[in-house]
Chains A and B, each alone.
Chain A
Amino acid sequence: MKRLNMVIILAVAVAVVFAGCSRQEQKESAKLQVVATLFPLYDFARTIAGDRAEVTMLLPPGMEPHSFEPKPNDIVRISRAGMFIYTNRYMEPWAESLLKGMDRQRLRVVDAGQGVQYLQNVAGDEHDHDVPGNHGAEGHAGVVDPHIWLDFSNAALMVDNILAGFIAVDPANAAYYRMNAAGLKGRLAALDQRYREGLADCATRVFLHGGHYTFGYLARRYGLEYHSLSGISSESEPSAARMAEMVRQIRSSGVHYLFAEELLSPRLTDTLAAEAGVAVLKLHGAHNLGKDDVQRGVGFIDLMEQNLVNLRKGLACRSK
């Protein structure tokens, strides 16, 4: 896999240099250019920007984000932009070293996760067998969970950080950006409220996921018990023992649904579900979108609404 990735990176470098050269010329417009790494940042930034700035997403559609590394063409894009937004150094570990080489006078860098209360996933790749619950006992040396956007209060904080970036780079439009950000935060608060109500009265609070550790923040905010098959890195492969343990967890918790992640192949999730005799429901981690969703213009809040529908089905929640 690693070797394959290397070859892909090299080939991409060659391929995109050609594709990139032609594309960049027409984009040298007067508007503020903003590059965001992942989909939530991109969606928040384009909402705040409205028609006063041009926001693009670094990740190509469909690509798995955790193993993503920027290619030469991406670096050119970032260096030509006026603002660069990334999630945090746990999600994009390549960002810090890459930014060292850039002209910080011209390029405003936004760490969207600044000020967020980070959570840890227990023991990284393998879940500790003895520790029940989701976000392991305090004091456990775990891996920091980067999926902060899945707690909507964090999402609001990310909106603030992005807004501060816009105001610093383009103070002339500050009022316009503030207005857009306020609208977005209002919609996020309403979403949070719908989650609170929608997940208040459920037959089970155990929430089992056949993918990598993604929904820790969401689970904590709404008081759910969350278990995932693999650790934080979506490249890590589960052991036979972890698969068997997951099957036992599904059986003993009495749930009827297992959740599957987006973009990646659901083979392991399907295997677990078949083994334990439960059905599979999709749950979108919103790291990135597929090509069709991009063309349809799907937004972060749309994804989360769909997730709420599936979560309520999976946990057998009753309406008030």
Chain B
Amino acid sequence: MNLIEILSYGFIQRALLAGTLIAVLCSVLGVFLVLRRLSLIGDGLAHVTFGSTAIALALQLYSAASLLVSLPVVLLASLGILKLTEKARLNGDAAIGIVSAVGISIGIMLASVGGGYNVDLLSYLFGNILSISYEEVIIAAGLFCVVMVLLWLFFHDLLAISFNEELARVSGVRTNLISAVLVMLTALSVVLAMKLVGIMLISSLLILPAVSALQLARSFRACIVLAALQGGCSVVAGIFVSFLTNLPTSAMIVMINLLFFCCSCGVRRLITIRNIG
């Protein structure tokens, strides 16, 4: 099967386009999240989305209308995670664990009270990169623009709070506001992108490109660029390799990210050994 033929399918074109945009934005957000020890926030917020979608169904709101419930709930949950780390002095992962457990149990409770659902809720929550519609490509592009513009506007503030929060405050950075901007952008991306490409892809794209870039980057700017490159390339490569090997696409993209990560670790080791020797 040649390249032209692969590219002739509309669903492949849309997967490449929307997938790359989502991968790049997740990878860039991921650098800040990993440095702030919030790398599991993607999974956590996905669980909250599950709970909030159950609430939406209980209120008889379906598909797009369920976003009216889940988007505000997930935004609040992301702020809740932040408050827990600040006020209760919890680690990021403990705070995420608490919030996600609450999200899941709300969903389960409502299911048992309401006597089940009309559909399999989980299958409706998580999209698949191969089934992205035209409208969803536009959603992905819009999300990409919003996240990138805000990251550009707040880039130095985000860098400052990731480096050291006290120093950032004494430099006049409104640290609470900037942290809130970061987790709310993440929440927005998780809620929207999860319906497009599935949670496995989102949560691995929030972590793997960032940790690979951290192995190799020689500056913060390079770290952002490397992460974005890895995220984008992994989607393109994953789709083509999935074509050649006949293996599931999302899993392939995750495996390629893992491969990138192993290579970065290897390269870093080599550099360290050479520097010592």
Q: Do chains A and B directly touch (beta carbons under 8 Å) in the complex?
A: yes
Interface residues of A (CB under 8 A from B): 1, 3-4, 7-8, 11-12, 14-16, 19, 60-64, 126, 236-244, 247, 263-265, 267-268, 270-272, 274-275, 290-294
Contacts of A240 in B (CB 8 A): 6, 12, 15, 130, 239-240, 242-243, 249
Q: Once bound together, how far apart are the Cα atoms of A289 and B108, in whole Å?
A: 18
Contacts of B117 in A (CB 8 A): 61-63, 290-291
* Chain B 238-259: CB-based contact to A (< 8 A → 1; otherwise 0): 0110111111111110000000
Q: Who on chain B is nearest to A264 by CB?
A: B123
**Docked-complex contact B249 and A7, CB < 8 angstroms:** no
**B157 within 8 Å of A by Cβ?**
no
Contacts of A238 in B (CB 8 A): 130, 248
B128 CB to closest chain A CB (Å) equals 6
Contacts of B242 in A (CB 8 A): 239-241
14 new A-B contacts at CB < 8 Å, known A4-B43, A11-B104, A291-B117: A4-B46, A7-B101, A7-B104, A8-B108, A15-B108, A19-B113, A61-B116, A63-B117, A237-B248, A237-B251, A263-B120, A264-B120, A270-B131, A274-B10
Q: Once bound together, how far apart are the Cα atoms of A244 and B244, in whole Å?
A: 12
Q: Once bound together, how far apart are the Cα atoms of A267 and B119, in whole Å?
A: 13
**B143 within 8 Å of A by Cβ?**
no
Chain A interface mostly = helix
Contacts of B199 in A (CB 8 A): 1, 4
**Docked-complex contact B248 and A291, CB < 8 angstroms:** no
Of A16, A236, A271, A290, the residue contacting B119 (CB under 8 A) is A290
Contact size class for B? 35 or more
Q: Once bound together, how far apart are the Cα atoms of A24 and B254, in whole Å?
A: 45
B241 CB to closest chain A CB (Å) equals 9
* Chain B 93-106: CB-based contact to A (< 8 A → 1; otherwise 0): 00000001100110
**Docked-complex contact B111 and A60, CB < 8 angstroms:** yes
Contacts of A244 in B (CB 8 A): 1, 6, 9, 12, 243
**Docked-complex contact B104 and A8, CB < 8 angstroms:** yes
**Docked-complex contact A63 and B246, CB < 8 angstroms:** no
Given the known interface contacts A268-B130, A268-B131, the answer about A237 and B249 at a Cβ–Cβ threshold of 8 Å is yes
A50 CB to closest chain B CB (Å) equals 24
Q: Who on chain A is nearest to B200 by CB?
A: A1
Contacts of B11 in A (CB 8 A): 243, 271-272, 275
